[in-house]
Amino acid sequence: ISPTWFLSVIQHEFRTGKIDLDSTVKLFEKLQMPFDFAHIKHVFKKTVDKRKEHTINIEDFRAIYRMIVHRPEFHELFRAYSLNCNILAETELIEFLKKEQYETEACEMTALELILKYEPVEEVRKRRQMSFEGFIRYMSSEDCSVFKSNHKTVYQDMNHPLCDYFISSSHNTYLISDQLVGPSHLWGYTSALLKGCRCLEIDCWDGSNNEPVVYHGRTLTSKIPFSSVIQVIDKYAFVASDYPIILSLENHCSPKQQEVMAKYLETILGEKLLTSTIGDTVVKELPSPEALKFRILVKNKKVGTIEEGMLRRNGESHTEIGEISEVENMSNEDETEEKAPPRSKKDSPKRKMEHRSSSPPRKKAKMKTKLAIALSDLVVYTKSEKFVSFEHSLANQKCYENNSIGELQARKFVRHSGKDFVSHTSRFITRIYPKGTRTNSSNYNPQEFWNVGCQMVALNFQTPGVQMELQDGKFLDNGGCGYVLKPEFLRDQNSTFTPYNVGRYSKPMSLSIRLISGHQLPPSNLSKTNKADPLVQIEIYGVPEDQVKKKSSVVKSNALSPRWDETFSFTIQVPELALIRFCVEDEISLVANEFLGQYTLPLLSLSKG
């Protein structure tokens, strides 16, 4: 360390000779180095325990700083490019950027920018050089993130029709725990919106005093007023992203309370609510996310066409209630978003229809749904349509009509009619939702439905685990705006792509990953001495033939600075759909590992270097 620089930063704190743990932490903050409190506390404790004191002197601090900040792997790199081993000249830094970071365009300007940004020692900065301290700060910064910096902002073409994008989507957004007795809470909406979620689900039921409520129908989950939900959505809608929000209504209200819902949507959301087409009344193609910026769309059943709805809203009709007649497939295979606990005696015949029988398939029955025209006419580009079959949709469905398909049925389609499924999602927005038996709010693997181009793969955002990590990783892309453009072969209406036989759509890519080291990993929960036995799993998620997991060796009892130096090679057939997940675990025994942390990102967002 440059002794004069280092002393000038820290000496004021040592004016009384010694400092305690709190002051040590504050000094690390002042030195602008990323640190983990558990590790500093552990090293501090080891230093003072020898002397039975609670404070350290200036030399102790320098030793702790070196131990935590001066990583040997950084030193090796620095010395490989620094002629005199203690300073990087501008030319040496440029060489490092070109050779190690694959920044082929790197020039004096690039080097100077990094020096001015990261070099803490003033006299070194003035000489347009970088000290080891500056190098450490650069290597620990966002500029060296494995995630491509240009993918951290919206970089994709946002002018395609809505159905050409994967859309970040949440299931039963109001729940923050399980699906049967847990609380419903407004925080479910706030947190999903702050994560960039663009399709929220609202389960609406008749409440007392003509006030509709949101909860998981016929369960013991608590209830929240519909109006409060809309207020929260209004407040947080566009904090994380400018692109449109779709409110997926699961509507169980009477026409009377549906009118109340319509009133709240219009009065609370105001101008944000989309109530008419943009441009042409006759809709031949869905508008783009760009054209719908800062707008909120209602996804619900609708009486008649967009044109009829627009005429009604313009005051040329005065009917208050419309009726939709749907063919209901009464088979035990069909899943529903209905929750079906034991039926009460008070259930009306209409309600009985909604409980699926578990007996053998019966013939189709007609279901009539009453809809308040006031709510129906708020549905413009996102009209929910009962899914019958791919053939039926191809022949009858309009571009603004979308389907919801349960995970079990969807999984069968992926396996047995992949090509038809891709053809369907290239034309129509398709939402997938978890099967009703996931009462503990568990999630399915979203990847298998992204593989066939499903736009809205709805997950329980409140449930941590690999499935949500894949969701979060996928939507880091394109600036985290909640819309990711689908690959060309999932947008092309004549595509013959299927995930189980990628054929001519394969663009093999070789990937080589050198796992060098870890730093300040979370210690094991089971360790009193701040230790862990870490290993890293590198996993690829994508089309079936790309799914693979590789595992590093285990580094014994070192959470502060484990070193692996292992190389892993992969060949990926369909890189456009692949995600890569790095998972760090602590080996507890030969058969069990404890999760320490993970990072997932799209393969094509992986930076070289």
CA atoms within 13 A on the CB side of 433: 22
As for how many domains the chain has, the answer is 4
For the stretch 432-451, pLDDT in tens is: 999 999 999 999 999 999 99
For 442, other C-beta atoms within 10 Å of its C-beta total 16
pLDDT, average across residues 467-480: 98
Kindly state whether residue 357 falls inside one of the protein's structural domains: no
pLDDT category at 340 given cuts 50, 70, 90 is: very low
pLDDT category at 310 given cuts 50, 70, 90 is: confident
Same domain, 261 and 391: yes
**Catalytic residue numbers, as ranges:** 171, 216
By residue range, what is the domain housing residue 531?
506-605
Distance CA 419, CA 391 (A): 12
Torsion-angle region of 530 (φ positive above 0: left; ψ -120 to 50: alpha; else: beta): left
Same domain, 560 and 453: no
Same domain, 135 and 240: no
CA torsion angle for 294, 162, 283, 494 (degrees, to 10)? 170
On average, the pLDDT of the chain sits at: 91
Kindly state whether residue 330 falls inside one of the protein's structural domains: no
Same domain, 287 and 209: yes
pLDDT, average across residues 18-33: 94
Distance CA 218, CA 113 (A): 61
Kindly state whether residue 531 falls inside one of the protein's structural domains: yes
3-state secondary structure 325-379: EEEECCCCCCCCCCCCCCCCCCCCHHHHHHCCCCCCCCCCEEEEEEEEHHHHCCC
Nearest to 347 by CA among 210, 223, 218, 220: 218
- How confident is the model at residue 351, as a pLDDT? 40
Domain termination residue (choose one: 438, 462, 490):
490
Domain termination residue (choose one: 69, 91, 125):
69
- How confident is the model at residue 313, as a pLDDT? 83
Measured distance between the N- and C-terminal CA atoms of the chain, rounded to whole angstroms: 26
Kindly state whether residue 263 falls inside one of the protein's structural domains: yes
- How confident is the model at residue 348, as a pLDDT? 44
- How confident is the model at residue 307, as a pLDDT? 87
- How confident is the model at residue 584, as a pLDDT? 97
CATH number at residue 59: 1.10.238.10
Residue 330 has pLDDT above 80, yes or no: no
For the stretch 63-120, pLDDT in tens is: 999 999 999 999 999 999 999 999 999 999 999 999 999 999 999 999 999 999 999 9
- How confident is the model at residue 1, as a pLDDT? 60
Same domain, 249 and 396: yes
Distance CA 61, CA 54 (A): 13
Same domain, 382 and 247: yes
Residue 334 has pLDDT above 70, yes or no: no
% of the chain residues with pLDDT over 70 = 93
Residue 336 has pLDDT above 80, yes or no: no
For the stretch 256-304, pLDDT in tens is: 999 999 999 999 999 999 999 998 778 899 999 999 999 999 999 999 8
The model's pTM: 0.92
pLDDT, average across residues 162-166: 98
- How confident is the model at residue 358, as a pLDDT? 40
Position with higher pLDDT, 174 vs 367: 174
Highest mean pLDDT (candidates 35-44, 154-163, 434-443): 154-163
Residue 339 has pLDDT above 70, yes or no: no
Same domain, 227 and 133: no
Residue 347 has pLDDT above 80, yes or no: no
CA torsion angle for 202, 205, 206, 212 (degrees, to 10)? -10
- How confident is the model at residue 4, as a pLDDT? 87
Distance CA 597, CA 552 (A): 15
Nearest to 390 by CA among 423, 350, 429: 423
Kindly state whether residue 596 falls inside one of the protein's structural domains: yes
Same domain, 138 and 217: no
For the stretch 209-261, pLDDT in tens is: 999 999 998 888 899 999 999 999 999 999 999 999 999 999 999 999 999 99
Position with higher pLDDT, 184 vs 443: 443
Domain termination residue (choose one: 39, 69, 99):
69
For 316, other C-beta atoms within 10 Å of its C-beta total 9
pLDDT category at 354 given cuts 50, 70, 90 is: very low
Same domain, 460 and 558: no
For the stretch 486-496, pLDDT in tens is: 999 999 999 99
Same domain, 301 and 377: yes
Same domain, 308 and 423: yes
Distance CA 413, CA 418 (A): 6
Yes or no: say if 226 and 202 are a contact pair by the CB < 8 Å rule: yes
- How confident is the model at residue 338, as a pLDDT? 43
Kindly state whether residue 153 falls inside one of the protein's structural domains: no
Highest mean pLDDT (candidates 31-35, 273-277, 339-343): 273-277
CATH number at residue 433: 3.20.20.190
Same domain, 225 and 264: yes
Nearest to 364 by CA among 350, 348, 349, 353: 353
pLDDT category at 542 given cuts 50, 70, 90 is: very high
Q: What letter represents residue 378's amino acid? A: L
Kindly state whether residue 169 falls inside one of the protein's structural domains: yes
